[in-house]
Amino acid sequence: MRTITLLAVLTMALVIPATGATAPGDKVKGGPCADILLSDPELAGPPVYTTFPAGTATVYALLTTAKASCNGTPYTITVYDASGTTVLNSQTFTGDGTTSLFSYSFSPSGAPTQVCIAASSKKDGKVIDAAPDTGCYVMVLGTSPGGSGLN
């Protein structure tokens, strides 16, 4: 019995500091169905801006929700110019309570060397999650970003 008690105490001692030291997570103001991740279509990194495979400069992105999308909730992906001020394209998907993956592609006119991308989920007209949390993510044409998706 003492061994079990000792193991339980040691386990708690290891868990409590690790939990307390965890960095703050994504700033979601809603449930898991509102928690979004913006990534490349393979979920291997952030969205990409490339001429592969079609030869045309194209932004490819996948918006995913942590759980099935919130029924009736709008999820929007917006591509801006490199400064992040001029909207080049925007697409809104409506959650249906089942879907958790929304695929997006856009070929900007003139194939600028850089564009900026952001996504959001909203409830009652207010942003409940954004990816990235602030601003937009700048993508350079033909550069493989690597890393992880944007929360």
The domain limits of the chain are: 25-140
Q: How far apart are CA 27 and CA 145, in angstroms?
A: 23
Q: What is the pLDDT of residues 94-118, one digit of tens each?
A: 999 999 999 999 999 999 999 999 9
Q: Decide if 91 contacts 75 (C-beta within 8 A).
A: no
State residue 17's pLDDT score: 34
State residue 69's pLDDT score: 97
Q: Is 91 exposed, middle or buried (0-12, 13-18, 19+ CB in 10 A)?
A: middle
CATH number of 25-140: 2.60.40.2550
Q: What is the pLDDT of residues 19-58, one digit of tens each?
A: 332 234 556 777 899 999 999 999 999 999 999 887 999 9
pLDDT at 68 over 90: yes
Give the global pTM. 0.79
